[in-house]
Structure 1
């Protein structure tokens, strides 16, 4: 019951939803809509998790006027889907919502051309059903392996320990609180029940986990008790997590439930320790913080100089709480003494690691380099230099390996002093040379306890071997005499040739078996990943030099790319450099390389307005290209038959042959050799492109050099 259970989880999480049906709604833009129009509508549904809308009419200027769908962050131009042009009635995709349970629709138009606008007549909604779960990476493909909130609650119920701590860094983790909250439990989560929990490669952690780890050293001691409680850690974690996640473009809000009475301090420590001597009485007060199993909590007082009197008080016999942690205040009276000349305070706790806290003040009455209090604490005689009488001082044995209270520490019948001073054996090893005979046995039988080859067995074998040799020599001599007499008449001497055949062995041929390589696998999508917000920098660029279908590539460019980064951020600066490189390659006619750089810039979150410009350009190229691949192909529209002008394939506008992009719609034009600078560059009737500093006629909407919006 005194144990403490601590559970930390960082990984995938989610919330179950159920379909709440289709509902009628009426949202209409002005028809026709005006220029420079910017308005936001919203649809509210209680407990909504996802929502999609039905457009029964949609007619906007293609490529210039847009309708955006998103959550409340749409006010800051964070959106999930956007539409432009003319469409027959259609449904949008599922849009994940935030805690306000609202879907937002935003319409923005430019300065020219107006059409009929749009109309929304109904919406479909998915609502939370109250079930939340954790899903580790290996369970993503099988929903039956999800760790439901009810399962976590039952596991916590099965533990009999008094205090239980749960810290969760996962999406929708705040929804776990309603199910697992209970007296004796503390729960901290990275976000609310309807929010995602972000990660950031720069932190090498989740945002919440990063500040959870830092809180142990950076959180403030709000109540000035000398310790940082988990409640004070939360006061540091929450605002920092909200602030940092907001800088990534999406805010999530840590939550906590505190069902433990008083402060919960995870770090084991002793605070505000005061020990005061008044005559033969020691007054004490201190606070013991932390978690774990208290092995020792003692105070010792002594009077060695007068009459070798001491007293040990075990505070665990009268703990301040069931766990032993808390505040202590009392005194110790040393009877039969008029004064106290030594005292000590000793704590030992088995927590996440072994915690020891010792402090003592006393004399060394026997000059063995150990204070009297330490000797009393460890069972030694404070007025004898050699408590066990083995010839070694207590100080020597206490600071080495042998026991100062045991004459023969390894029970080999040799005293510790004899082993160290005479025989040079190990006083903590009964068989120093490891020959199977104890050191005492070998000393008694005259063998060497340090030589594994010289044992009583070898002595015995030596005597037996000598007897065998003598017997063999005697027998051989008799046999030789008999044979010599028997073969006297044989004159020829037989010679024997000893032939030695050496067997040749081939070297062992071991065939190396390579470790099987992991099978190729397809990355599985997280639960509801089709509805989750794209996290900044979460899309990894691999290799786009493979064939993609148009719809797949358009879907990636329109919906899978991370949102734009701020211009002054590290990722924003890096992505702008890559985009600039892509534009330069496009000017040089290296279309394939240019596309790869531009796509990589989008993946890294290139800031606006380059982000929208690159997307529009790439989407147009995809629509106009047949049998699209990104390998060794480039999009070059057919050349106009006119002599001095070429016609835009998208809008039909005739443009000078020197133009690289259409002056009306910004589409890619054919590259011409031997181009001549237009006369307008000689005059002041032009606009400078912010991206490439190229001069353009004032009537142009897009730069003829880089395609940027003017």
Structure 2
């Protein structure tokens, strides 16, 4: 008789033993409407659609290239570098005589037509500061436009962008519901759901980078295919995070025997009661050998691992007289035999020895379809060999230590719930695997032993081990996590930047810093000449890969007559639009900053200094966006390329959003139902006011009702459009809604 309430073992599947525990206007192409086109273009080029020479309307898909008897000369685009590593470069082209504006097109394959492309830039400039955030091969062409004609396509130039960024991809597999019911577990699917939430919230990994396999989805081939799919997206700077939660198995082997001479009286008395105990520290399992066991029907002989036969004894003998047999295995390094007479007598028991059992290779994890033959370490190792970067494995299964040691290779970090000869428990109180729950809850800033401002896997393992051992012991079976670390430096997946020292060396400043986790790092170093109000950005690296180790750099003083009064450094790492920064500033002479705002940008001089900005210019990076506005919207006032990003994908780049005072993270700033781009470019409404003409009808509804959002009385009948729609039910586009010859406004005034 043996059971352990509220504790489930993950995968005690033995292979050779009976012991089993278990929006957009398009230019009309018809010649019938050519006059309309000419008027439209003429108005566009003279209206305030072109609010600034650098910022103009964007073309939409399906652009028509004009033709004329004397077309414009095609611009010539300057060749781009063969390779770019930070996604930041300039696209330049020649002027075309007679051109009023130009459109720049981008594609990921060679461009021979722009009919199905949208322009990424429309304006009068002959250069464009490009900024892309995805590695790819990019192609560009330019077309010149006048009021009546367009040029042929320019030459097509291209650049291969290989961004230096550390990304993370994940494969999470958990099986609670195996075929049938006897092998089912309770919380493996919860482990996967909770791990998904954990890596999204803690590491910022995008959901599209995660493949989740639950229950019947988690077959061996599905796990292999998922890892292969993720590997194809990765490069050497990336991480694969692999989680498995489910059954694990090992080969059970009977081992050495130890003499243990146990004899009851022959026969035992009617009130006889005796308990015997033997131990073999560290043994996975033990059993005893009976030379004879003769117990009458009213008496009991128990064999188990604890002196509490009602819950933990695995053998219960009564009414038998058998010789030369082994008891069942007891999953412990302690074994107890208890004989209790029931008011009558019999011959009794004679035990000659006990035997040790152990779990040995082959170790396996058990996918949904693996109850007969599981997934071996060599099989997982083979598919992990396709990963070009580093791999982090978290395995919560019985015997996972043995499995984990088999996949521990260079550039891999493996955590397992138990040693090779141990079970891994489920924890009903916390509704997770016991080890998984401890993993989710062990992360504490106080564990930052090396004080680099971030906690690594290596730093949490000690507490993870202690907490798992303590919790598993408290519920009746102790198991010990294992760590296999074959990764250079620490394993840190939280994006983190930390400048630890900043030292003046007389001709340069020496920085020591840590850039950790995922994403791409930037490092700026700026000097200040306070008496002469001069600023010099001497170092700007936009493409740093987190190394998870302490690094140093020397940034030389500016040359010439520059007087070094102060130095400020900014280290940042960005992953999926989340940026972590570290600042370090030092004075180099007696001059200091004040709290005044010399450049009038809304940020006082002292604050600008600590942030590495130019306190004598309201736009440090000269990208057209005020420093304070960039900080307000979490942009980088030292990055001159971020003005061309479109954070909310509304068609307006950040620079345009700044100029029109719209929210760069909301496609509809005023929540009137119109996209900011449409308001600015198509309808000329105010994207910051929901009702531009203040007629009681918000701009989006004006478009729905075909009224003029810039005219409070579209049909000039004396009634505001909002009154007609919301109050009187009249037609805001018809001054005489009922066709009786009387103007709607007059009818209302006379009460008709």
Alignment TM-score, normalising by the size of structure 1 = 0.49
Larger radius of gyration: 1
Please state which structure has a larger fraction of its residues in helix: 1
Structure having greater relative contact order (Cα 8 Å, sep ≥ 6): 2
